[in-house]
């Protein structure tokens, strides 16, 4: 049975020193410049301190990380034990390297006056230094599932002493296909432990995971499900795909943006856009799964310190990028999963700050836009930039080249769409139809023959009557656009 907490006006007036946290933690919070907890922190911290399981949800940028790191630091510090070799007391699982690194940074920030030891492990870097660090003993381990299993397989980490398990961004982990890795990790943990599941969205898959993982959990949700922050001003620009790069450059220069996060759908698209921005004099870097961990860390650091104006990212960076007061997010292409839109624009408008999100939408992305507006239950206003006005209607595709009529031998070297020579492919298969339509095609053949030397003659029917081009075309035998390979039933298969 889930117990549910809802926010009341009094919850927002709480101070950190009213939550029962240890003095060293309060001192670290004060050093960081915080005095008032966010709504998710005000509700989650007491629940974690009580020792029960928790299912918590809030949109990105609401302080979920501190909502579990602060009480965990308190609980572990109240019952100190000697740190065993490679045997952590708390495990925090996250989907991405960037998020793992930032959670570890929060643990270090808020636990700096405590004797607790922590570390982060993720893939893309040498595993040996991680093994050496585990051998010195730790209390809190922040990890991505893949690298954690690698370490467990090498007997470098022992998860039998885990007292508290945190699954952060659980919905993203399921989206990225980590469910099997998560189950393998769960099988290594002791049955008696405290479980905390934090998620930005709640899907049916998350509910099933929670039902199998959590024992009579408290439920905290401080924002309507799958909603974008009200602090983010959202607009849409309808623009051709081919004009998007130029529009991004124009917007950055016109508004003199100093820091903008741009999302693309593909890794290659991120690289191409970053190169285009650099050519136009805008400092830019790309971050995605094909980049080495060192390159990703440097790009993110340069973006945070202002050395890079535009950071072009795929959805791998939609979670875990915590950038103070990021003013601008641009969707160069809309995601095909509506929930990813919420996570993308959640990089701005965080912790009470305002932000803006612009989406560049081609006509072919109109369906994605409708799905997003349906999810967030609002229509996103459309804006127009002079010189980049969208066409009044979707332009039709370029006409297909005229089809070669059956019965006419193609010129030397001419091939069909599937690469076979049409003369060889159709000579045998069209033998019978060619005889059947010989009388009808005779005037047409003469006309086609004349067209190679003189102006085309007026098409006529066998009776000498003039006919239109459409009627002439319909009189010819037609080939389906996607015709299967012909099969002769006389004992020979079509070639």
How far apart CA 125 and CA 74 sit, in angstroms, is 31
Which pLDDT value is given to residue 429? 47
Buried b (16+ CB within 10 A) or exposed e, 448-477: eeeeeeeeeeebeeeeeeeeeeeebeebbe
How far apart CA 119 and CA 132 sit, in angstroms, is 12
Given a contact cutoff of 8 angstroms between Cβ atoms, the answer to whether 143 and 122 are in contact is: yes
Which pLDDT value is given to residue 399? 59
Given a contact cutoff of 8 angstroms between Cβ atoms, the answer to whether 338 and 201 are in contact is: no
Structural domains for the chain: 3-221 (3.40.50.300), 232-376 (3.40.50.300)
How far apart CA 243 and CA 10 sit, in angstroms, is 50
Query: What single string gives the DSSP state of each residue in 20-56?
Result: T--HHHHHHHHHTT--S--HHHHHHHHHHHTT--EEE
Which pLDDT value is given to residue 63? 80
Determine which helix (DSSP H) or strand (DSSP E) holds 92, and give its type and residue range: strand 90-93
Handedness of CA 200, 206, 212, 217 (dihedral sign): positive
**Angle at Cα 445 formed by Cα 442 and Cα 448, nearest 5°?**
155
Which pLDDT value is given to residue 419? 44
Which pLDDT value is given to residue 32? 87
Which pLDDT value is given to residue 421? 46
Whole-angstrom distance between the N-terminal and C-terminal Cα of the chain? 66
Which pLDDT value is given to residue 375? 87
Average pLDDT, the chain: 79
Query: Could you say which residues of the chain have pLDDT below 50?
Result: 1, 3, 5-12, 412-465, 473, 479-483, 492-495
Place of tokens 């070669």: 404
Q: Torsion angle of alpha carbons 471, 477, 480, 486, nearest 10°? A: 180
DSSP E strands: which ranges in 267-420? 284-287, 310-313, 328-331, 355-361
């Amino acid at each position: 049975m889930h117990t549910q907490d809802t926010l009341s006006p009094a919850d927002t007036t709480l101070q950190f020193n009213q939550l029962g946290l240890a003095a060293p933690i309060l001192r670290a919070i004060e050093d960081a410049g915080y005095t008032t907890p966010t709504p998710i922190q005000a509700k989650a911290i007491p629940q974690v301190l009580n020792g029960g399981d928790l299912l918590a949800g809030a949109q990105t940028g609401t302080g979920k990380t501190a909502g579990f790191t602060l009480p965990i630091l308190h609980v572990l510090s109240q019952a100190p034990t000697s740190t065993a070799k490679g045997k952590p007391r708390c495990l925090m699982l996250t989907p991405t390297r960037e998020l793992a690194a930032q959670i570890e940074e929060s643990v270090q920030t808020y636990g700096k006056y405590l004797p607790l030891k922590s570390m982060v492990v993720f893939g893309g870097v040498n595993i040996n230094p991680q093994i050496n660090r585990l051998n010195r003993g730790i209390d809190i381990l922040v990890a991505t599932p893949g690298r954690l299993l690698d370490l467990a397989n090498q007997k470098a980490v022992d998860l039998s002493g885990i007292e508290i398990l945190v699954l952060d961004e659980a919905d993203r982990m399921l989206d990225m296909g980590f469910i099997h890795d998560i189950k393998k990790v769960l099988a290594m943990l002791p049955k008696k432990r405290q479980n905390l599941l934090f998620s930005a969205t709640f899907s049916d898959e998350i509910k099933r995971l929670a039902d199998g993982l959590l024992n009579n959990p408290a439920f905290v949700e401080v924002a309507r499900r799958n909603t974008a922050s009200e602090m983010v001003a959202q607009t849409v620009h309808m623009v051709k795909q081919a004009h998007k790069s130029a529009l991004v450059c124009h917007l950055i220069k016109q508004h003199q943006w100093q820091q903008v996060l741009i999302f693309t759908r593909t890794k290659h698209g991120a690289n191409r856009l970053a190169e285009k921005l650099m050519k136009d004099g805008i400092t830019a870097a790309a971050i995605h799964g094909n980049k080495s961990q060192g390159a990703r860390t440097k790009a993110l650091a340069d973006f945070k310190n202002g050395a890079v104006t535009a950071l072009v990212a795929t959805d791998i960076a939609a979670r875990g990028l915590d950038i103070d007061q990021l003013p601008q997010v641009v969707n160069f292409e809309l995601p095909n999963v509506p929930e990813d839109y919420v996570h993308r624009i959640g990089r701005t408008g965080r912790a009470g700050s305002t932000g803006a999100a612009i989406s560049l939408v081609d006509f072919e992305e109109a369906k994605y836009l409708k799905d997003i507006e349906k999810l967030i239950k609002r229509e996103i206003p459309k804006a127009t930039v002079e010189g980049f006005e969208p066409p009044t209607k979707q332009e039709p595709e370029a006409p297909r080249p005229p089809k070669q009529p059956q019965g006419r031998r193609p010129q030397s070297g001419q091939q069909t769409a599937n690469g076979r020579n049409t003369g060889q492919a159709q000579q045998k298969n069209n033998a019978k139809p060619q005889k059947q339509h010989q009388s009808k095609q005779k005037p047409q053949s003469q006309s086609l023959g004349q067209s190679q030397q003189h102006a085309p003659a007026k098409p006529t029917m066998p009776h000498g009557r003039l006919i239109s081009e459409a009627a002439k075309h319909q009189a010819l035998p037609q080939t389906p656009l996607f015709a299967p390979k012909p099969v002769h039933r006389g004992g020979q298969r079509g070639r």
